Amino acid sequence: MRATHLTHLLASLALLTVGAPAAHACTAALLQSPDGFVIARNYDWYTGDALVLLNPAGQTKRGLALLPGDKPPAWTSQHASITFNQYGHGFPNGGMNDAGVVIDALWLPGSRPPPPADTPSLNELQLIQYLLDQADDLDELIHLARATRVSRIYGDIHYFACDREARCATLELLQGQLTITTGDDLTSPVLTNTPYADSLDFATRHRTLHPDEPPQGPSSLARFTRAAAAADQRPKGQLQQRALALLDDTRDPDGSTRWQIVYDPAHLTLTFRTHRAPDLKTLRLQPRKHRCAAGTLAIDIDANTPGDATPRLAPLTPAANEATLRRAFTPLASRLPPQIIPTVAAWPASMACETAR
C-alpha cells in the first residue's frame, strides 16, 4: 500500500473506530441485474434547496473566470441534460445527459486540485455541466476532463461518472493531480468520501477478516464496504427498489441526507426524492429533442408533484435561479471570492443559441 493511501486510510479508520459520522456522507454506486443497471446517489449537505433543470442542447457558453489565472474554455452544448443545481444555473452538483452519461460530485476531505497553468480551467461544479454538455460516453468524458484544469472555488470533491454501457470511473484531485480509476481497476463501482483506492483497500481487508459482518455506521469506509457488497450482487428483481434500499442503508442518521437520486441511463430517466418531499418524482430525457430555442426548464427539487414530473417543468426565471443560489451561497460567503453571488447569478445571460450554419 502506498504511503499516501496508508495516511488517508488510517485517518478514516480512526473515524470508523469511534463511530463518528462523516461530515458529508454522500454515496454513489452502480447496481446491476440481468435486466439492466442504475446509478444510485445520496446527497448529504447542510441544506437541500435546489432546482432541477432541463438544459437544452445548442447553447453557446464560456466558462466563468472567478480566480486569478483562470482560463475558461468556450463550448457549445451538444447534449441536453437534467441537472441538480444548488449553486446556480450552469453549476450543477450532478446530472445526466441525453447520451446516458451521468456524473456526480461527492465531498472528499483533503482534495487538492492542480496548480494554475495554461490549461483551460473551470471551477469544480461548472466542470460537470461542461462534461455533460459534450460527452457521448465515458471515454469522451475522461478525455475532456484530462484536458481541463479544475480551479477550485470552495468544494473538496471528487466525481463518480458512468455511461449508457454501465462503464464507470472515479475522478479525484489527489496531491495536485487528476487521478482517474476505471476499467479493470474499478473493482467496485462505488464512491463515498474517502479516496477510491483507500476505500477499496479497506473493503477488501474487511471482507477477508469479517466476511459475514459488514461494517455498520455512517463512516465513509463503512458505507463504501456495504455499497460495494450490494454492487457485487446481480439478482433479478426491481433495480429501483434495490437502489432506494441501498440509499436508505447509507443515508446519514443525523438527517443531513437531502436528496436521493436513481439514474437509469439506458431509458434516460431519473427518479428522485428529498428529505422535504419524500414521494418519488421522475423526469425523462428524449434524445435530440430539447433544443436551445425552448430555453432552460426547471422544477423545485422539493415540489410536491409525485410521479412523472416532466410535464411540470417550467421556464427558469433569473429571479428563481438567483433566489436558490443565494440560499445556498449566503452561509458560505465569508469563504468565497467577493461578489460571487451576483457574478454567478448573472452568468446565464452570457449564453446564446448556436447560430445556424
Residue type, 217: G
Predicted model pTM: 0.92
Q: How far apart are CA 135 and CA 98, in angstroms?
A: 10
Alpha-carbon distance of 41 to 271, in angstroms, equals 11
DSSP letter for each residue of 286-327: -TTT-BGGG--EEEETT-S--EE-GGG-EEPPHHHHHHHHHH
Q: How far apart are CA 173 and CA 318, in angstroms?
A: 32
Give the helix/strand (H/E) hosting 246: helix 239-249
DSSP-derived secondary structure for 18-35: HTPPPSS--EEEEEEETT
- Give residues with Cβ within 8 angstroms of 227, minimum separation 6: 27, 29, 188, 190, 192, 246, 250
Correct CATH for 3-351 of 3.40.47.10, 3.40.50.150, 3.60.60.10, 3.40.718.10: 3.60.60.10
Domain residue limits, the chain: 3-351
**Sequential DSSP letters for 213-232:** -PPPSSSHHHHHHHHHHHHH
pLDDT tens over the chain, length 357 residues: 444 444 343 333 333 333 333 446 899 999 999 999 999 999 999 999 999 999 999 999 999 999 999 999 999 999 999 999 999 999 999 999 999 999 999 999 999 999 988 999 999 999 999 999 999 999 999 999 999 999 999 999 999 999 999 999 999 999 999 999 999 999 999 999 999 999 999 999 999 999 889 999 999 999 999 999 999 999 988 899 999 999 999 999 988 999 999 999 999 999 999 999 999 999 999 887 899 999 999 999 999 999 999 999 999 999 999 999 999 988 888 888 888 999 999 999 999 999 854
- In one letter, which amino acid is 142? I
The pLDDT, as a whole number, for residue 258 is 97
Predicted confidence at residue 317, as pLDDT, reads: 97
- The three-state secondary structure class of 209 is helix
Q: How far is CA 77 from the centre of its chain?
A: 19
Q: In the structure grid, which three cell numbers stand for residue 330, read together?
A: 449566503
Q: Measured between alpha carbons, how far is 114 from 71 in angstroms, rounded to an integer?
A: 14
**Given this model, what pLDDT does residue 246 score?**
98
